[in-house]
Amino acid sequence: MQDHPSPPATTPAPDPLAYPDPRARVAAVATIQSVITDAADLITRPEPGQAEARVADRLAEELAEAAAMLRALPGRPAAMSGHDYALLAALRTAHAAGEDVAGTVARALAQLAAELGGTAAVLRNRPRSWEAALVADLLSGTVGEDDDGLPMFGGPGGSL
């Protein structure tokens, strides 16, 4: 008779090096190893500041990209940038939590506009696209046509 219950039988996690497509597994493993190395370097900084925050943002993008790679194994994910993966991961998480995804997007864009100095700054990279027109409408509804509501979303002079 045992005094202690037996530990539950566990199924070992699949070995990432055993996936059928060698290119996909190498890319996923290399991305994860790179993130681990960079994160370890990041935490050794004595006085973290803006530069380290930018590195942490990039690491979040790389981790989201690695997650997409792992989800897509044994094939490769559709070509997207790291920040696209990070945005998709954030939206997926918000949706799974039952949040209003449209409100999440509106608040994030408003905070970005506050940090960059206005709606025009958000749209500067491609101002005349149909996507920019829709984002401008969303921001207009969120922060006002003249960006009067930006301070409540942070950035220079903001409350966040």
- Answer yes or no: do 39 and 110 share one domain: no
Tokens of 43: 């935490």
The reply to whether 18 and 89 lie within a common domain is: yes
pLDDT digits (tens, 9 = 90+) for 19-77: 455 666 677 777 788 888 888 888 787 787 888 888 888 888 888 888 777 777 655 55
- Same structural domain, 58 and 119: no
Residues 106 and 146 in one domain: yes
Classify residue 86: in a domain, yes or no: yes
**Could you tell me if 19 and 94 lie in one domain?**
yes
Same domain assignment for residues 94 and 109? no
- State both tokens at 57: 């943002």
Residue in the structure block whose two tokens are 């370890």:
40
Q: Is residue 8 part of a domain?
A: no
Query: Distance between CA 76 and CA 25 in Å, rounded?
Result: 9
Task: Give the pair of three-digit tokens for residue 17.
Answer: 């090096």
Same domain, 26 and 76: yes
Asked whether the beta carbons of 103 and 143 are under 8 A apart, the reply is no
Question: What is the predicted pLDDT for the residue at 57?
Answer: 83
Domain range enclosing 70? 14-99
Together in a domain, 78 and 59:
yes
Write down the H helix ranges in 43-100: 50-72, 82-96
pTM of the model: 0.57
Looking at the fold, whether 115 and 143 belong to one and the same domain comes out as yes
pLDDT tens digits, one per residue of 67-97: 777 777 655 556 677 778 788 888 888 898 8
Counting every residue, how long is the chain? 160
How confident is the prediction for the chain on average, in pLDDT? 79
- Statement to judge: residues 122 and 67 lie in one domain: no
List all residues 6 or more positions away from 61 whose beta carbon is below 8 Å from its beta carbon. 81, 82, 83, 85, 86
Number of domains present in the structure of the chain: 2
Say whether both 42 and 110 belong to one domain. no
Q: Which amino acid is located at 146 in the chain?
A: D
CB 155 within 8 A of CB 111: yes
Question: Which of 99, 117, 137 is where one domain is finished?
Answer: 99
